[in-house]
């Protein structure tokens, strides 16, 4: 369809060309759906001038940007609303960075370069100020190779600009300094010679700046996953994030636009209304620009005002004849049938009209083509299937064209998610994160208390030691070379462990007792596995064409984790042994999509699928998700829960027994006696730990020889254990997909003013709020309090808790899900799996009464969409809280990044202890030897039972009369030094050590001699291990070699430079000249001897 053939569109173009800036608006009405963005894209191509498209609502601006991607053929710029709150603003704020990026691009851009620029924004974003041009020009940190600037000045600038100093950078707005190396993760940077039109300003950039004295020696980009640096750049300008807080330094965004910009106002009356409401709800409107000022500024440009409906007051408006395509939208009822019926109607129109049906990907194009060809033989010539996503269809009557989106016909995906670049967060090394005072376990000495790291002299050279205190205040200094023998102690109860006594056999006996108990447990678990193998199950075949189409029609980019896990699940399903896989992944990390793919595979093979969920609300949601995702395919999906009427439930269970239902989703109602299946092939269980004991027993009967996929969002200690051990197949999703954002988490006392601000801030961006009050008796009173605090009639408040009548609860939830309620005062019924992307503020009363994992799950309800989410954990105003609760809340505040579920489970293990993980007896064992050693003993037991070789831990002991350590001047942080010592201790071969040396040079600068010597010693240890050497000790004038078996004297000592004596078959003395005892010489001699 060519808009150039449309008479009114041609008139609009010529009016805009004739109109001088400031000559009043050009008015157009009679548009509908996604036609206005299509017109904007046409104007951009025809007139080659910058365009600013202003919408009334925040979500509209995003929808317009989606439509522009399709009609422009490229991604437009977006200028978002800053959703932060002044108190919480920091350099890590992505949205502030994006606003800054656009402002900087406009300020730095040459007018000629911005001709094809199109920016989509909302009026609220323009109400908010931006830094003035002077501030943008001046306020950057300019770095260039070979230029002189003191590292201290760079650090000071970063500190003043609100950057956070850390050990290693992994979030925008952080920096790290290690000697002459400064890592900067900048939210916004500009590089020489690039502008906004050609995506000139880079979004976020992590760089490593290496200094030689005060000169910048190199600037390299950092790969955040490995922390290694790569590509070199010549220069960089880091823009000050968050910019300015003072009014005189700010500017109205409109004033930054190039003079030839065309401003499009979509629905001007609505824009004006929303703008004034936005200012009404803000605490301090003086900092914002009112609509009157914005409109005055807009009138200096060419202004195009577009409306859907004609305004009698402006008869001069040009009228477009565009009507709604509502007629072709999906009708309620069976999804599959309705989609086909609408397609038929569209096909009937092709006799006189052109039909354009936008599909989101090739899989959808193929599927629609397949459906049409089944009934019509081929696609009509004027029925087009381009790939793209438009929000709302429309009909251009004068051009005889119908434009409609696939999702409208098939009733799919009400919510469109942003796709952001993703990165997995570094795993928490909480088991290695030793702090002074922590309890540790030394494999040979038992449980002690870590007192810190000390540097001590030995034979004239300094070495570093971990100091551990045992019973009776006895201190043991463990050389860092043996750091692999020390682990952090995590018990199964919060009680403090008893310190071991040195010099008694008690620790050895305890270890042996635990090893025996563990052996029994492993045998029992393996027996269960063997039984499943013996029973045998159904082996599913290879993927069908439909399976491929189903997977390709997934709207978002899969994360690498999802692709891996999907393959693992399918491989399990293809085996004759029934699958028993546990899928762990944080809330919203895409577990449901993987479950749906497995379900689809089972259904295509003619099997039935049961999906078991813990709560009714979650059941309703899963039902909706499955129905939408399977809309293109003839699959029968039914839902069973307490909201389903008895008569309907009876019909569903009868149909399921006859094999007429493909997928049955339900709560524990699925486990009742009247529910059966004709041919069950797959059982999907969500959050198994939330079902009671008797339900679990019934589950075992269901599970016998069907494939089972269990999903959990909090890795519970038990599964976490098994996951570390390979007694069960475990998959884990750790990469946040979609647009999950880290959630701003604040722990504070109950404060009415804070609650009012938090709720209004959320309502101001058209969002919704969860207000969690977990006492059913007083929940009505809590809702009244919220009403009084807000004192605003327009705010709709609702209540939801588990003791309400079922229809009331369902109605309340549905009102909230559909956006009719602004604030939901509720109990923890919202905890598991609920997906309400528009709710992005959560307020939790009496947060100290919740467990850590539960707080994390609750917090996972928000931050599921493109907006920044806030979680306020409120403490009681008068009651004091226990130290244990304080530790829990500290942990939840610390780990606000994504993927924190696993980290939290580890912290939870530590705080609550591993509890009754494997029954009381095993719990006692964990308390005796600590979690990590217990896990190691268990995996060794499994290895022995499976006849797998057990990996030997420590290498040979080497004491050459001198010690060496990593100087504090090279790596100041104790934690990072311990991490490096541990990496050296566990290196397996020379290749590992070479990689480590390169990594150290990159992260901390050139490797000093002491560290090089440490790496050389580690290589000797590895080489000695291959000759079955137990130790090499210098006892001048001899070097004494001790072997575990008899010494291979001939081979090893044939090249030795001194005199060889063999006092017994396991010991060899090598007498050397005193010149050989220089450290470098001695190591060179030994290396030459030991290399085979």
Whether the per-residue pLDDT at 329 is higher than 80: the answer is: no
Phi/psi of residue 238, nearest 5 degrees: -90, 120
The CA–CA distances, whole Å, from 268 to 301, 311, 1032 equal 16, 11, 84
976 or 118, higher pLDDT: 118
Nearest to 87 by CA among 242, 208, 230: 242
Specify whether 306 is located in the same domain as 349: no
77 vs 895: CA distance, rounded Å: 32
Specify whether 725 is located in the same domain as 761: no
Single out the residue in 897, 923, 946 at which a domain terminates: 897
Two structure tokens written together for 569:
């699940």
Specify whether 91 is located in the same domain as 183: no
So what's the pLDDT on residue 97?
A: 76
Whether the per-residue pLDDT at 356 is higher than 90: the answer is: yes
Nearest to 87 by CA among 753, 765, 973: 753
619 vs 665: CA distance, rounded Å: 7
696 vs 668: CA distance, rounded Å: 10
660 vs 678: CA distance, rounded Å: 9
**600 inside domain:** yes
Whether the per-residue pLDDT at 970 is higher than 60: the answer is: yes
Instruction: Please tell me which of 517-531, 541-555, 829-843 the model is most confident about, judged by mean pLDDT.
Output: 541-555
* Residue 896 confidence class, pLDDT cut points 50, 70, 90: low
Sign of the torsion angle spanned by Cα atoms 1042, 1047, 1052, 1054 = positive
The CA–CA distances, whole Å, from 681 to 599, 610, 649, 662, 676 equal 9, 8, 22, 10, 12
1028 or 864, higher pLDDT: 1028
Longest dimension (CA), the chain: 113
Neighbour tally for 866: CB within 10 Å: 22
- The average pLDDT across 133-142 equals 76
**400 inside domain:** yes
546 or 906, higher pLDDT: 546
Specify whether 333 is located in the same domain as 303: no
Beginning with the edge strand found earlier in the chain, give each strand of the sheet holding 174-178 in spatial order.
Answer: 164-165, 174-178, 181-186, 205-212, 215-223, 228-233
CATH of the domain at 121: 3.40.50.11180
So what's the pLDDT on residue 194?
A: 44
Strands (E), 831-964: 839-844, 869-875, 957-959
Beta bridge partner(s), residue 813: none
Single out the residue in 294, 318, 342 at which a domain terminates: 318
Residue ranges of alpha helices (H) inside 146-290 are 151-160, 268-280
Specify whether 536 is located in the same domain as 566: yes
**Contact yes or no for 832/614 (Cβ under 8 A):** yes
Angle CA(1083)–CA(1089)–CA(1092) in degrees, nearest 5?
A: 125
328 or 645, higher pLDDT: 645
* Residue 93 confidence class, pLDDT cut points 50, 70, 90: low
Instruction: Please tell me which of 660-664, 828-832, 837-841, 969-973 the model is most confident about, judged by mean pLDDT.
Output: 660-664
Residue 344: domain span: 322-410
**445 inside domain:** no
Residue ranges of alpha helices (H) inside 90-230 are 94-108, 123-127, 133-138, 151-160
Which of 356-370, 424-438, 704-718, 1029-1043 shows the lowest per-residue confidence on average (mean pLDDT)?
A: 424-438
728 or 549, higher pLDDT: 549
Specify whether 124 is located in the same domain as 158: no
Q: Are strands 250-251 and 130-131 parallel, antiparallel or unpaired?
A: antiparallel
For the segment 530-560, what is each residue's pLDDT rounded down to a tens digit?
777 787 788 999 988 888 888 877 777 677 7
CATH of the domain at 348: 3.40.50
**428 inside domain:** no
Two structure tokens written together for 990:
């020379």
Helix 806-817 to helix 616-629 angle, to the nearest 10 degrees? 50
The CA–CA distances, whole Å, from 751 to 484, 666, 859, 880, 910 equal 48, 40, 20, 15, 31
Phi/psi of residue 532, nearest 5 degrees: -60, -40
Quote the DSSP letter at residue 249: G
Instruction: Please tell me which of 55-69, 169-183, 544-558, 977-991 the model is most confident about, judged by mean pLDDT.
Output: 55-69
**Contact yes or no for 267/56 (Cβ under 8 A):** yes
**66 inside domain:** yes
731 vs 1041: CA distance, rounded Å: 46
So what's the pLDDT on residue 735?
A: 64
So what's the pLDDT on residue 229?
A: 87
So what's the pLDDT on residue 933?
A: 79
Two structure tokens written together for 283:
């605490």
Cα-only R_g, the chain: 34
**Contact yes or no for 455/433 (Cβ under 8 A):** no
650 vs 656: CA distance, rounded Å: 10
So what's the pLDDT on residue 475?
A: 92
Whether the per-residue pLDDT at 478 is higher than 60: the answer is: yes
Helix (H) or strand (E) holding 76: none
Specify whether 863 is located in the same domain as 892: yes
Q: What is the tally of structural domains in the chain?
A: 6
- The average pLDDT across 873-880 equals 86
So what's the pLDDT on residue 737?
A: 54
**Contact yes or no for 636/613 (Cβ under 8 A):** no
Specify whether 585 is located in the same domain as 695: yes
For the segment 605-642, what is each residue's pLDDT rounded down to a tens digit?
999 999 998 877 788 888 888 988 888 888 999 999 87
So what's the pLDDT on residue 372?
A: 87
So what's the pLDDT on residue 998?
A: 92
For the segment 640-685, what is each residue's pLDDT rounded down to a tens digit?
987 788 999 999 999 999 999 999 999 888 888 888 899 999 999 9
**Contact yes or no for 175/155 (Cβ under 8 A):** yes
So what's the pLDDT on residue 315?
A: 72
CATH of the domain at 171: 3.30.2060.10
Residue appearing with tokens 């580690």: 1018
* Residue 911 confidence class, pLDDT cut points 50, 70, 90: very low
**Contact yes or no for 516/523 (Cβ under 8 A):** no
Whether the per-residue pLDDT at 386 is higher than 60: the answer is: yes
170 vs 176: CA distance, rounded Å: 10
Specify whether 225 is located in the same domain as 313: no
- The average pLDDT across 102-129 equals 85
Q: Are strands 637-640 and 250-251 parallel, antiparallel or unpaired?
A: unpaired
**335 inside domain:** yes
**Contact yes or no for 957/1030 (Cβ under 8 A):** yes
**489 inside domain:** no
Neighbour tally for 155: CB within 10 Å: 17
For the segment 572-584, what is each residue's pLDDT rounded down to a tens digit?
999 888 888 888 7
**Contact yes or no for 636/662 (Cβ under 8 A):** yes
Cis bond leading into 767, ω under 30°?
Answer: no
Specify whether 607 is located in the same domain as 650: yes
Beta bridge partner(s), residue 581: 709, 729
Two structure tokens written together for 310:
């004609």
- The average pLDDT across 761-775 equals 89
So what's the pLDDT on residue 669?
A: 87
For the segment 32-68, what is each residue's pLDDT rounded down to a tens digit?
999 999 999 999 999 999 999 999 998 899 899 999 9
Q: Coil, helix or strand for 747? A: strand
For the segment 288-300, what is each residue's pLDDT rounded down to a tens digit?
899 999 999 999 9
Whether the per-residue pLDDT at 718 is higher than 60: the answer is: no
Single out the residue in 733, 755, 778 at which a domain terminates: 733
Which of 247-261, 588-602, 876-890 shows the lowest per-residue confidence on average (mean pLDDT)?
A: 876-890
So what's the pLDDT on residue 903?
A: 54
Q: The pTM is what? A: 0.69
CATH of the domain at 697: 3.40.50.300
**Contact yes or no for 80/95 (Cβ under 8 A):** yes
Mean pLDDT of the chain: 82
**99 inside domain:** yes
234 vs 193: CA distance, rounded Å: 12
Specify whether 574 is located in the same domain as 654: yes
**Contact yes or no for 191/237 (Cβ under 8 A):** yes
So what's the pLDDT on residue 710?
A: 87
* Residue 72 confidence class, pLDDT cut points 50, 70, 90: very high
Helix 852-859 to helix 883-894 angle, to the nearest 10 degrees? 40
Whether the per-residue pLDDT at 917 is higher than 50: the answer is: no
The CA–CA distances, whole Å, from 571 to 543, 567, 579, 580 equal 11, 6, 9, 12
* Residue 401 confidence class, pLDDT cut points 50, 70, 90: very high
* Residue 467 confidence class, pLDDT cut points 50, 70, 90: very high
938 vs 725: CA distance, rounded Å: 7
Nearest to 174 by CA among 147, 197, 155: 155
So what's the pLDDT on residue 452?
A: 87
Specify whether 595 is located in the same domain as 702: yes
Which residues, 6+ apart, have CB-to-CB distance to 606 below 8 Å? 679
Which of 294-298, 342-346, 464-468, 571-575 shows the lowest per-residue confidence on average (mean pLDDT)?
A: 342-346
């Amino acid at each position: 369809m060519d808009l150039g053939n449309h008479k009114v569109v041609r008139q609009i173009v010529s009016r805009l060309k004739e109109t001088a800036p400031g000559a009043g608006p050009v008015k157009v009405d009679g548009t509908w759906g996604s036609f206005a963005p299509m017109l904007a894209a046409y104007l951009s191509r025809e007139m080659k001038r910058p365009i600013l498209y202003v919408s009334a609502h925040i979500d509209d601006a995003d929808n317009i940007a989606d439509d522009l991607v399709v009609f422009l053929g490229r991604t437009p710029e977006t200028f978002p609303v800053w959703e932060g709150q002044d108190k919480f603003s920091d350099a890590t704020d992505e949205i502030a960075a994006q606003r800054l990026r656009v402002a900087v691009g406009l300020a730095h851009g040459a007018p000629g370069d911005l001709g094809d620029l199109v920016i989509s924004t909302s009026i609220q974003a323009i109400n908010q100020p931006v830094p003035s041009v002077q501030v943008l020009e001046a306020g950057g940190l300019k770095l260039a190779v070979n230029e002189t600037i003191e590292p201290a000045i760079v650090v000071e600038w970063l500190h003043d600009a609100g950057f956070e100093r850390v050990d290693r950078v992994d979030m925008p707005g952080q920096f790290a300094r290690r000697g002459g190396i400064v890592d900067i993760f900048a939210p916004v940077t500009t590089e020489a010679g690039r502008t906004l039109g050609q995506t000139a300003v880079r979004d976020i950039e992590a760089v490593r700046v290496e200094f030689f004295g005060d000169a910048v020696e190199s600037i390299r980009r950092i790969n955040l996953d490995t922390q290694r640096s790569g590509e070199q750049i010549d220069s960089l300008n880091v823009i000050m994030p968050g910019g300015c807080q003072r009014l005189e330094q700010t500017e109205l965004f409109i004033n930054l636009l190039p003079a030839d910009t065309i401003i499009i106002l979509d629905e001007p009356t609505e824009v004006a209304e929303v703008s004034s409401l936005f200012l009404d709800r803000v605490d301090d409107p003086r900092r914002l620009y009112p609509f009157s000022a914005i409109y005055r500024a807009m009138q200096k440009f060419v202004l195009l005002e577009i409306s859907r409906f004609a305004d009698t007051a402006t008869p001069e408006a040009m009228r477009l004849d565009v009507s709604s395509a509502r007629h072709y939208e999906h009708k309620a009822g069976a999804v599959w049938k309705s989609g086909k019926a609408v397609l038929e109607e569209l096909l009937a129109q092709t006799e006189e009209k052109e039909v354009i049906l936008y599909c989101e990907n090739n899989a959808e194009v193929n599927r629609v083509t397949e459906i049409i060809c089944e009934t019509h033989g081929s696609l009509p010539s004027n029925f087009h299937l381009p790939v793209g996503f438009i929000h709302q269809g429309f009909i251009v009557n004068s051009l005889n064209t119908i434009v409609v989106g696939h999702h409208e016909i098939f009733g799919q995906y009400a919510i469109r998610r942003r796709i952001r670049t993703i990165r997995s967060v570094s795993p928490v090394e909480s088991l290695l994160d030793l702090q002074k005072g922590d309890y540790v376990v030394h494999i040979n000495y038992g449980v002690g208390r870590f007192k810190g790291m000390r540097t001590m002299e030995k034979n004239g050279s300094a070495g570093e030691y971990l100091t551990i205190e045992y019973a009776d205040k006895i201190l043991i200094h463990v050389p860092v070379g043996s750091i692999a023998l020390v682990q952090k102690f995590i018990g199964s109860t919060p009680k403090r462990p008893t310190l071991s006594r040195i010099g008694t056999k008690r620790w050895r006996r305890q270890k042996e007792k635990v090893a025996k108990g563990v052996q029994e447990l492993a045998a029992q678990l393996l027996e269960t596995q063997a039984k499943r193998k013996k029973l045998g199950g159904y082996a599913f075949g290879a993927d069908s064409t439909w399976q491929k189409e189903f997977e390709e029609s997934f709207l978002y980019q899969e994360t690498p984790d999802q692709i891996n896990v999907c393959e693992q699940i399918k491989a399990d399903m293809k085996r004759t042994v029934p699958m028993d896989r546990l899928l762990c992944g944080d809330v919203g990390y895409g577990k449901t999509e993987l479950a749906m793919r497995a379900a689809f595979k089972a259904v295509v093979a003619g099997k039935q699928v049961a999906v078991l969920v813990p709560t009714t609300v979650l059941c309703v949601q899963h039902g909706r998700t499955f129905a939408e995702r399977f809309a293109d395919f003839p699959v029968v999906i039914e839902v069973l829960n307490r909201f389903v009427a008895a008569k309907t439930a009876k019909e569903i269970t009868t149909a399921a027994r006859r094999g007429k239902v493909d997928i049955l989703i339900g709560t524990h109602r699925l486990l009742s006696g009247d529910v059966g299946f004709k041919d069950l092939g797959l059982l999907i269980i969500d959050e198994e730990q939330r079902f009671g004991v008797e339900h679990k027993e019934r589950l075992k009967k269901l599970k016998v020889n069907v494939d089972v996929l269990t999903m959990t969002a909090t890795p519970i200690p038990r599964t976490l254990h098994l996951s570390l051990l390979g007694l069960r197949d475990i998959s884990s999703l750790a990469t946040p997909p979609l647009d999950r954002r880290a959630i701003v988490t604040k722990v504070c006392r109950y404060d009415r003013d804070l609650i009012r601000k938090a709720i209004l801030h959320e309502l101001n961006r058209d969002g919704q709020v969860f207000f969690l009050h977990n006492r059913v008796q007083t929940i009505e009173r809590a809702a009244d309090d919220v009403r009084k605090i807000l004192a605003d009639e327009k705010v709709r408040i609702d209540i939801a808790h588990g003791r309400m009548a079922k229809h009331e609860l369902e109605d309340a939830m549905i009102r909230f899900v559909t956006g009719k309620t602004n604030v939901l005062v509720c109990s923890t019924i919202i905890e598991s799996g609920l997906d309400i992307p528009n709710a992005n503020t959560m307020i939790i009363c009496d947060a100290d009464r919740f467990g850590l994992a539960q707080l994390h799950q609750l917090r996972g309800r928000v931050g599921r969409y493109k907006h920044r989410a806030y979680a306020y954990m409120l403490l009681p105003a008068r009651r004091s809280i226990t130290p244990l609760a304080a530790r829990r809340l500290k942990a939840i505040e610390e780990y606000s990044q994504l993927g924190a579920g696993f980290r939290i489970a580890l912290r939870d293990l530590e705080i609550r202890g591993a509890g009754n993980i494997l029954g009381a007896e095993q719990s006692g064992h964990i308390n005796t030897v600590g979690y990590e050693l217990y896990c190691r003993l268990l995996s060794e037991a499994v290895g022995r039972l499976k006849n797998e070789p057990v990996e030997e831990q420590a290498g040979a002991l080497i004491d050459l009369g001198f010690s060496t350590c990593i100087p504090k001047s090279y790596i100041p942080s104790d934690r990072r030094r311990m991490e490096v010592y541990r990496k050296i201790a566990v290196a397996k071969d020379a290749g590992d050590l070479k990689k480590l040396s390169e990594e150290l040079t990159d992260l901390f600068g050139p490797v000093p001699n002491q560290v090089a010597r440490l790496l050389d010693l580690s290589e000797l240890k590895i080489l000695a291990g291959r000759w079955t050497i137990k130790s090499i000790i210098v006892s001048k004038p001899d070097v004494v070699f001790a072997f575990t078996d008899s010494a291979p004297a001939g081979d090893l000592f044939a090249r030795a430079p001194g005199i060889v004596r063999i006092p017994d078959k396991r010991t060899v003395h090598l007498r050397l000249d005193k010149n050989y005892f220089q450290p470098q010489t001695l190591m060179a001699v030994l290396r030459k001897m030991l290399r085979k």
